[in-house]
Every structure is written in C-alpha cells, then in structure tokens.
Amino acid sequence: MKDIIAIVGPTGVGKTKLSIELAKKLNAEIISCDSMQFYKGLDIGTAKIKEYEKQGIKHHLIDILDPKDSFSVAEYQTIVRNKIKELQDKKITPILVGGSGLYIASVLYDYRFLGKERDQEYLSNYKDYSLEDLTNKLREKAPKIANNTDLKNRRRVLRALEKTDEDLDLNSKKLFYKNAIIIALDLKRDILYERINKRVDNMIEEGLECEAEKLYSLNYESQATMAIGYKELFKHFEGLMYLEDSIELIKRNSRRYAKRQITWFKNKMECYWIKVDLNDFSKTVETAYKYIKK
RNA sequence: GGAGGGGUAGCGAAGAGGCUAAACGCGGCAGACUGUAAAUCUGCUCCCAACGGGUUCGGCGGUUCGAAACCGUCCCCCUCCA
C-alpha cells in the first residue's frame, strides 16, 4: 500500500475527478499541485474544484494566495512537505493533485533549494541588457554555471546570474518519499485537445470574462495575471483583440500547455500511466486503485 | 460577353529569373527546464534506404545555361461592368 499518492497529467484529463473517487475509497485528503489554483479569485479559468464537487473531501493549498502575491517552488516545497507530515501524523493519506510539474517534482523528488532566491531588484538591473550581454556576463562571472544554463533562454540566463555553485550540486533523481506513487492520466491526443477546446467554451459560459475583468481591474502584474484564460482576455480588454480571438488563443495556449505537461511527466518523473476511460470512468478509478494497493 | 485581381507545402501568406525545398504565421510533432513554471526556451514539419538523393509552387507547351518567377495557351476562383 502506497502512503503518498500523486495524480498528475495534462490539463483537462480528469485529475480532479479521479482524486475525489480515490479519496473516497481511502482515508485521504487532497493537496493541490496547481500553481494557479493557489490564487483566490481565479476559479473558473483554473478549473478550480467547486465546493459541491469536493463531496466532503478536504482540500489543501487552494486559495492560499492573493492574486498579487508572488510565490516560489521553494516555498511550496516547504509548505507541502510540512502538510504531508501533518496529515501522515493523523494517519491520513495525502493525495497530491495537479499539473504543475516542477512543483510536484520539487516535493516528491529530492529537490534542494540551497542557493540564493530570486531577487527581483537585482534582476531589474539587467533590464536593458541584450541576451548576448547577459550570456557574456554569465560566462565571465560563473563559467561553470554558464555551461549548465540554456543560454538561449533569457530568463534562465538572468536567474543563472544570481546562482551560486551550490545550485549546481543537485540531486533530484531520487524520490524523497520512498513509498510514493505517481499516477499519470492520459488521453489520445486529439480527444484531449477536443476536451480542452470544449472546456474553454464552458468556462466562457460560466463567466470567465467577468472573472478576468476583476483581475484586470486590480491593475497588477503578477504571477497570477500570467495564467492562461486571463492574460488572453486582458488583450481583449485593452482593445487589442476581438473576444472571439481571445477565446481561440486561450484554447491554443491550453493545448500547448497540455503538451508541455505531458513532456514533463513523461521525461522528468516516473509515473504509472493510465489511459482514461471516458465511457466508464470507474475502470480508470479501479486501475489507479490497483496500483495504489500494490 | 467585357474589365481587373488571383491560383505557392495541412491552412493562411511572402517571394517576381540563379543566393529557393521556397520567408513568416497558424496547425502538428519532439524536446529542455531546481526559486516567475498555466512561465520561459529549443528543434523538426514535401518524399526517401536520407551529412546524400527524388519530386514541387493550378495544367500543358515555350523562352533561357538556369523559371515558382518571363511568354503562349487551357482550367478554376474572386470583384466590377454588361
């Protein structure tokens, strides 16, 4: 029997549904691993679970942040590991559910955040530097780190500039929890994409535009405002785009996101993959349950 | 019937004699990613036994050392006039 369960997969496969079904069978509570569901007010666009859908199952790490707050994986790791301990002490099985690969990996694997954290002020010094300038600077300052950095990625190069050699000595291949299981949900690509498209239409019907407008009116630039489903509508609010085009963009970005998620789970984590049975979801639940009991 | 505009890879769209298997965007695929991660970034996408070869830019026929680009002709589409 596994004592920590993670349910991962691309957006729109049915992670939430499976997590509830499993939690009902186990003495379990759910910990969200969704980098956007942390934020209050981002409900429709992040497909946040609704109160009645929870069916009495306790959820953690949802609505813990204000949309203008910033957050980091390192903080997340600490909070969640503490939360896991707390639940286990109470003999409750934690089920981690979400699609934010790095966040999940940071908890489940032996990720260590030893160096300096990101420093917005420091980074702003380099605002006007070209990528080339930045790479040269990095090569000069820390050649070892430069060799381990994607030098075509401006954001990475910037971050690398504030890294220390401690960051190089990282061991993340090992599971942090020995008895954890990662279940990854999957669907045939075209079916997944179709579902994603439909889900976006539903979100619009449920009032995503209104929700986005509220976020927009805060007039903040933060991690939350980069969420898919919101940033595209902002373009419409700014008069740069027709509503229909914004909606299409949301669909496109969601599809691309799903694809990136699949790449991550396939290559960065060791998962038990389950093809979701859309006609008979109980079969999917059964399969997952079997893996957990092993 | 007359006058214009146009037909380019899965789609949209550049290209107007050699540097073009053909920009760019979309779509698709693969990948990277340890402190912004729903972010950020990279590669591939005509066909093949593929560091080489084969077939392309509506059809056919020309001009030329050389054409997607020039000429003729035919087919199709759009706009306007009758």
Q: Where are the domains of chain A?
A: 4-111+172-190+260-293, 113-171
Q: List the A76 CA – B59 C1' distance (angstroms).
A: 65
pLDDT for position A294: 86
Predicted confidence at residue A1, as pLDDT, reads 85
pLDDT of residue A165: 78
pLDDT at A126: 87
Name the residues in A42-81 having a C-beta closer than 7 Å to nucleic acid strand B: 45-47, 70-75
From the Cβ of A155, is strand B under 7 Å away? yes
- Residue A231 φ/ψ, nearest 5 degrees: -60, -30
CATH architecture for segment(s) A4-111+172-190+260-293: 3-Layer(aba) Sandwich (3.40)
* Of the candidates A32, A67, A21, A1, the residue with the CA atom closest to the CA atom of residue A230: A67
Task: Judge contact between A42 and A215, C-beta under 8 A.
Answer: yes
Phi-psi region of A254 (alpha: psi -120 to 50; beta: other; left: phi over 0): alpha
Q: What residue type is A67 in one-letter code?
A: P
Mean pLDDT by groups of 10 residues along chain A of 294 residues = 95 97 96 97 97 97 96 97 97 97 97 86 83 92 91 93 79 87 96 96 97 95 95 94 92 96 96 97 97 93
Q: Is A126 within 7 A of strand B by CB distance?
A: no
Cα gap A66→A224, rounded to integer Å: 9
Task: Determine the pLDDT at residue A266.
Answer: 96
For the stretch A5-19, pLDDT in tens is 999 999 999 999 999
Q: Give backbone dihedrals phi and psi of A139, rounded to 5 degrees, phi first.
A: -60, -40
ipTM over cut 0.85: yes
Tabulate helix, strand, coil % of chain A (nearest 5). 50, 10, 40
- Tally Cβ neighbours within 10 Å of residue A8: 27
Close Cβ partners of A199 (under 8 Å, ≥ 6 residues apart)? A12, A47, A254
CA distance A291 to A294: 5
Q: Which two tokens stand for residue A117?
A: 């954290």
Strands annotated E in A122-257 = 180-186
